[in-house]
């Protein structure tokens, strides 16, 4: 099985599903709610973030790509705003 590996100070993420999604798949985003992301892969120069973490990111500075028909996002570690602790 192929695996995505982040390089340097990059983090590969997937946007977490919002609980405010209509039956047709339209996301109703609250103006005050920042979408959360799940960390899929972490580059070797990233500290304090690990695979499986839930994070908040500056979505204006996030790139998007598709790999094997799955949508991912990629962000540089300095654009991660916070780790969500449960």
pLDDT tens, position by position, 34-86: 789 999 999 999 999 999 999 999 999 999 999 999 999 999 999 999 999 97
Distance CA 51, CA 60 (A): 22
CA–CA separation, 20 and 41 (whole Å): 26
pLDDT interval class at 20 (50, 70, 90):
low
| pLDDT at residue 1, rounded to an integer | 66
Q: Band of the pLDDT at 2, cuts 50, 70, 90?
A: confident
pLDDT band per the 50, 70, 90 thresholds, residue 28: low
Q: How many CB atoms lie within 10 A of CB 57?
A: 22
With CA atoms as reference, report the closest residue to 77 among 15, 16, 5, 8. Answer: 8
The reported pLDDT for the residue numbered 81 is: 95
- Cβ within 8 Å of residue 76, ≥6 positions away: 9, 10, 11, 61
User: CA-CA distance, 62 to 79, in Å (whole number)?
Assistant: 8
């Amino acid at each position: 099985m192929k695996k995505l590996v982040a390089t340097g100070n990059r983090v590969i993420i997937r946007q977490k599903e919002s609980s405010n999604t209509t039956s047709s798949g339209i996301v109703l985003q609250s103006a005050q709610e920042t979408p959360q992301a799940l960390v899929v892969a972490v580059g070797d120069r990233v500290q304090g973030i690990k695979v499986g973490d839930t994070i908040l990111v500056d979505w204006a500075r996030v790139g998007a790509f598709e790999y094997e028909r799955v949508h991912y996002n990629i962000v540089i570690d300095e654009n991660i705003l916070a780790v969500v602790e449960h």
